[in-house]
Amino acid sequence: MISGSDDGQVIKLKELFEKHEEKAIWDFIKKNPEAVNCRFLVERNILQMAITKKMPLLIEKLITNHPKLIHEFDRIHQGIFHHAVNCYDPHIMQMLITAAPELINHQRQDGKTALHLAMNAQNELAVQQLVLAKANIYIADIQEITPYSLVNGNPILLKAMCCWSQVLQPPPQEEPLSEVIINDIKNLSRKFALLKINPVKPLTDPTISADRFRTSIIMDKVDTSLSLEMIDDWDVIKLKEYLTEGGDPNILVIFGRPLILHLFLRATTQCSKTDDYDCMEAQLFYLLLKHALLDKSGSNANQCIQEHLVENAPVKMQLLHHAQRHMSQELGIMRTYYHQQVKSLETEFDNILLFAGLHQLQRANQNNTKAPNEVSELTRPQKILEKLCMGSMPYNKERTFNTRYISNMINGLLSQTTAKKMIAHIKKIWPNFDSEQKLIANFIIKELVIIDFYRHSQTIDKKHILFLLEDNKKTFPLHAPKLNAFFNNLFHFSDSMNKHPIYINHTLLEIWRRELIIAPSLTSFRELVTNATNSPLKARMAYVKQIANEINALTLAGYQAIRIEELYDKKWSDINTQNDAPNIMRCIDISNKLSFYIQEMIVSAENVQAAARVFELFILVAMELCTTNNHPGPNISAAFAIMNAFNTAVTGRLTKPLQAIDKDIDKKLQQLNKFAKPSKNFKWLRLTELAHPTTLPYLGKMLSDVTFIYDGNPNLTMMCEVLGSKLRQFSQLQRAISSVTSLPTTDIDQFLGTHVFLNEDELYKRSCTLLPPDIMIDSLSISQLINSIERYIHKEILPHIIWKSKRFEGPAMINPICQCLGNHLQTMQKGATLKEDIVRSKKMIGDLVSLINKHYPEATLEYATYIAQIHELENMTDSTVSDPNISISGSEALIFTSLEESATLPPQQLQKKHTLSFGNLRKSHK
């Protein structure tokens, strides 16, 4: 925080900076020379703070008297010019250029210079000042972006940079310009002339290199047939016509700008004016997004839209968010189409195998089991694979060929080896197969290729199965055309889908959203829940559906992102391999944070009735999530996250709010409790999953099942079958989810990710504040009584005292506690135990009085008032333990107010009565 100074100086300087008192700051520095070393937010020094606050007089004095400050940097290595651009003032900028011209090209941690920041902000004056001060326009940051590449066809910025008329230090020249590029530059210079921009240098000038132009403009791909006037005249129909007629969606237009980037910036301008993200310009961008790539690899730096999110950032982020919604819908349609096509091909393929004789195959016996000619040392997965190819299915109860069993085994074996290795081993032992075993091998390879297709891994290529395609023509001449056509079509579908712009653009947008590169202004999820909680019961039902949809969309996105490989070898359970299962860990984190948030909402309620409304809201949300109306099925995972929030030590003790909820809602809670009951290994939950194959499973139970499969099956064959069945079911669920890909309409993802949740101690403290715990002191010993009360006092919690079947709370609780302590002390024998209990009793009473005064300021109870009886008992027992600050005689013994009266008096009257009773005691104390 500071260097060479104390916190007091930093606080004082912060106050002076906020008041903008330049003279007072300089006077303070002269009186305290060490204050010049103060460091502020993000490790900025005092000169950088003065630049940020635009204090030219102070800046001049600091530069003159403390020149070392010029060469200091903040936490992210920003120098004086970076801060001067962020808080631009032309006079201050010129002052800094005069003082330290050598720092004009200083780069911060991400490689950006001050000129990068000025170009991103489109600050014409700052750009002009920096370029005139010899700022290098070709310095690249860590993303290989130069200030020159940020011109983006803006004539004003281009003119401000003076890059066409001023001699600047060029980058190293690699090769001369080609004739094509020279001709295109001539055409471009004519366009600049029309824009009244200084003409380009002569083309023979040796300072102009090819690399300078390649950093931002690919001239040999610019389509001169598409003018800006033509593009600006487009509507959706004309753009469709252009694409239908074979127009290149990735074409580069003026200034080397890709067409999709041009439409994006045009849509941004229109949306910023109208706040309509379904306007014609936005529709053009959404349409082209289905055909063109957001970030085409191998093109210039201007291709990536991410680099244009600085200017007018909120509108651009909102536009990309709407674009991702459109892409999600299109991706769902595309996936559904391809999945239906593959399912149809798979059914036809299986039928061909049966027609070819696979239905006659029985379990392996001595007659049809063939061993490889070469006896080599095989791994266990390879042995299992060989047995499957030869028809040996030891744990298959049916004697005929069972496709489900083979599919489960293949999914399980992939957890032990790779698809490439399995195909390579089949190729090795292929010559030893008869025709029936080759049919099984066809089926196994078909399963491997389909799994690869659904996982988008593209680890299997057509070249890996050429041996299969060639041999099918020889062994099955009648059926080979259709068998081989299946594999060819499947590879074609896989390549088409994975290279489709919809899939690529959606994947990129999802990465940007998760990394918060796209962080649009969305409806607040917290505000939505607060409004729902404060609404009447009938009006609250309108919010239930919306909240359930938000939680459902977040959960579906999390499950869709899980890669099957993350379930292998229990990677999520080992701290050393958790990085290999990031999506599982993220789903666990979302589920836990949702539970924490609900707990926090309940215990932070103002009163019991408000807490009951929170319970009612999330009970209804959980029931909505469990309905079959949700697609692809009931969301058991999110429902369990809500139920877990109800059954913690913090919320489970809140009986009064639960008793205050509506009777009909209470019946639904009983149904949920029965459903979530873990007895009989979640019997009701498993019945629900059986009834709905695409139920979103409870993540904790699913991971426990996988753990038990690994730990409880020493036999690898049996383990592969059971694990494969679980993995195949989860893969089917992911395919069902992929057809309904959707995004939350609120900021629930960002909120749960960034919200700082209360720790368990604070949650419990608030829970006890909402519903204080009860302590029945009738049957407690003195040690138990003191321990029970001290346990809550240490957590600053005031319990309720129950004595003689009556409840005492607040200031009224102290009388029965003192009375109970007195009864115990009178019956105890002299000795060390009595002395220790008296000392503990005094301390406990003092702490309790302080805590009561803190919670009930109007009570103003006094320690001496309530300790008198203990002193009297101490004197009666001739105890040597005494309090030196209080002197009380036996004649001044306390006669407590009757407990019945104390329990009914308000704190003010209770204190007044105590004051009258202990007038003589207080005088003696004084």
User: Residue 862 and residue 565: Cα distance in Å, rounded?
Assistant: 67
Higher pLDDT, 4 or 476: 476
DSSP state of 232: H
| Residue 446, pLDDT score | 93
CB 177 within 8 A of CB 217: no
DSSP state of 898: P
pTM to 2 decimals? Answer: 0.65
How are strands ordered across the β-sheet holding 806-808?
Answer: 774-776, 800-803, 806-808
Question: Helix, strand or coil for residue 431?
Answer: helix
| Residue 22, pLDDT score | 84
User: Residue 511 and residue 726: Cα distance in Å, rounded?
Assistant: 28
Judgement on whether residues 65 and 82 belong to the same structural domain of the protein: yes
Question: Helix, strand or coil for residue 299?
Answer: coil
CB 373 within 8 A of CB 433: no
| Residue 877, pLDDT score | 54
DSSP state of 768: H
- Give tens-digit pLDDT for 723-741: 999 999 899 888 888 877 6
Judgement on whether residues 409 and 289 belong to the same structural domain of the protein: no
Q: What is the largest CA-CA distance in the chain?
A: 119
Is 721 buried (19+), middle (13-18) or exposed (0-12) by CB count in 10 A?
A: buried
Judgement on whether residues 620 and 642 belong to the same structural domain of the protein: yes
| Residue 185, pLDDT score | 58
Judgement on whether residues 837 and 716 belong to the same structural domain of the protein: no
Domain membership flag for residue 294: yes
The residue among 232, 239, 241 whose CA lies nearest residue 266 is 232
Say yes or no to pLDDT of 696 above 90.
Answer: no
Q: In the numeric block, which tokens belong to residue 189?
A: 């210079």
- Give tens-digit pLDDT for 678-688: 766 677 777 77
Judgement on whether residues 349 and 436 belong to the same structural domain of the protein: yes
Higher pLDDT, 409 or 207: 409
The residue among 636, 624, 608 whose CA lies nearest residue 665 is 624
Mean pLDDT, residues 403-429: 91
- Give tens-digit pLDDT for 116-128: 888 888 888 888 8
| Residue 595, pLDDT score | 93
User: Residue 410 and residue 41: Cα distance in Å, rounded?
Assistant: 57
User: Residue 554 and residue 565: Cα distance in Å, rounded?
Assistant: 21
User: Residue 753 and residue 746: Cα distance in Å, rounded?
Assistant: 13
- Give tens-digit pLDDT for 313-364: 788 888 888 888 888 888 888 888 888 889 888 888 988 888 887 754 444 4
Last residue of one domain, picked from the residues 437, 466, 501: 501
Domain of 119, CATH number, reads 1.25.40.20
Judgement on whether residues 318 and 431 belong to the same structural domain of the protein: no
Q: Amino acid identity, residue 750?
A: Q
Domain membership flag for residue 516: no
Residues facing 736 on adjacent strands: none
| Residue 363, pLDDT score | 40
Say how many domains are in the chain: 5
Q: Amino acid identity, residue 436?
A: E
Q: Is the dihedral of CA 847, 850, 853, 856 positive or negative?
A: negative
Higher pLDDT, 151 or 323: 323
- Give tens-digit pLDDT for 626-673: 886 777 778 888 888 999 899 888 998 898 999 999 999 999 998 888
User: Residue 775 and residue 856: Cα distance in Å, rounded?
Assistant: 20
Residues facing 252 on adjacent strands: 222, 258
Mean pLDDT, residues 569-592: 88
The dihedrals phi and psi of 299, each to the nearest 5 degrees, come to: -100, -175
- Give tens-digit pLDDT for 871-881: 665 665 554 44
Say yes or no to pLDDT of 398 above 70.
Answer: no
- Give tens-digit pLDDT for 256-266: 678 888 888 88
| Residue 686, pLDDT score | 73
- Give tens-digit pLDDT for 702-714: 898 899 999 888 7
**% helix / strand / coil in the chain, to the nearest 5?**
65, 0, 35
Mean pLDDT, residues 786-791: 88
Give the model's confidence band at 814: pLDDT under 50 very low, under 70 low, under 90 confident, else very high.
Answer: confident
Domain membership flag for residue 902: no
Give the model's confidence band at 210: pLDDT under 50 very low, under 70 low, under 90 confident, else very high.
Answer: very low
User: Helices 537-561 and 608-625 meet at what angle, rounded to 10?
Assistant: 50
Angle of CA points 219, 220, 226, to nearest 5°? 75
Judgement on whether residues 420 and 327 belong to the same structural domain of the protein: no
Residue with the two structure tokens 């004051």: 915
Write a three-state SS string for 643-698: HHHHCCCCCCCCHHHHHCCCHHHHHHHHHHHHHHCCHHHHHHHHHHHHHCCCCECC
Say yes or no to pLDDT of 923 above 80.
Answer: no
| Residue 915, pLDDT score | 36
Judgement on whether residues 385 and 486 belong to the same structural domain of the protein: yes
| Residue 471, pLDDT score | 93
Long-range contacts formed by 494-501: CB under 8 A, 24+ apart:
494/452, 494/453, 494/456, 494/458, 495/458, 496/338, 497/334, 497/335, 497/338, 497/456, 498/456, 498/458, 500/334, 501/249, 501/289, 501/290, 501/291, 501/292, 501/293
Range of the domain at 717: 525-754
Give the model's confidence band at 153: pLDDT under 50 very low, under 70 low, under 90 confident, else very high.
Answer: low
Judgement on whether residues 15 and 113 belong to the same structural domain of the protein: yes
Last residue of one domain, picked from the residues 117, 135, 166: 166
Domain membership flag for residue 546: yes
Judgement on whether residues 533 and 666 belong to the same structural domain of the protein: yes
Angle of CA points 856, 860, 863, to nearest 5°? 115
Domain membership flag for residue 406: yes
| Residue 304, pLDDT score | 62
Domain membership flag for residue 912: no
Say yes or no to pLDDT of 467 above 90.
Answer: yes
| Residue 871, pLDDT score | 66
Cis peptide before 632 (omega within 30 of 0): yes
Q: In the numeric block, which tokens belong to residue 735?
A: 């395919």
Judgement on whether residues 538 and 636 belong to the same structural domain of the protein: yes
Domain membership flag for residue 567: yes
Last residue of one domain, picked from the residues 441, 468, 501: 501
Judgement on whether residues 349 and 324 belong to the same structural domain of the protein: no
Give the model's confidence band at 309: pLDDT under 50 very low, under 70 low, under 90 confident, else very high.
Answer: low
How does the average pLDDT of the chain come out, rounded? 77
Say yes or no to pLDDT of 377 above 60.
Answer: no
- Give tens-digit pLDDT for 584-615: 999 999 999 999 999 999 999 989 999 999 99
User: Residue 162 and residue 169: Cα distance in Å, rounded?
Assistant: 13
User: Residues of the chain with pLDDT > 90: what percent?
Assistant: 15
Distances (CA, A) of 611 to 443, 614, 830: 58, 5, 50
Strands 806-808, 800-803: pairing is antiparallel
Mean pLDDT, residues 141-166: 63
Distances (CA, A) of 727 to 78, 401, 457, 730, 741: 50, 21, 16, 5, 21
Q: Amino acid identity, residue 741?
A: T
Q: In the numeric block, which tokens belong to residue 244?
A: 């239908």
Cβ atoms within 10 Å of 22's Cβ, excluding its own: 18
Domain membership flag for residue 289: yes
Give the model's confidence band at 220: pLDDT under 50 very low, under 70 low, under 90 confident, else very high.
Answer: very low
Cβ atoms within 10 Å of 408's Cβ, excluding its own: 24
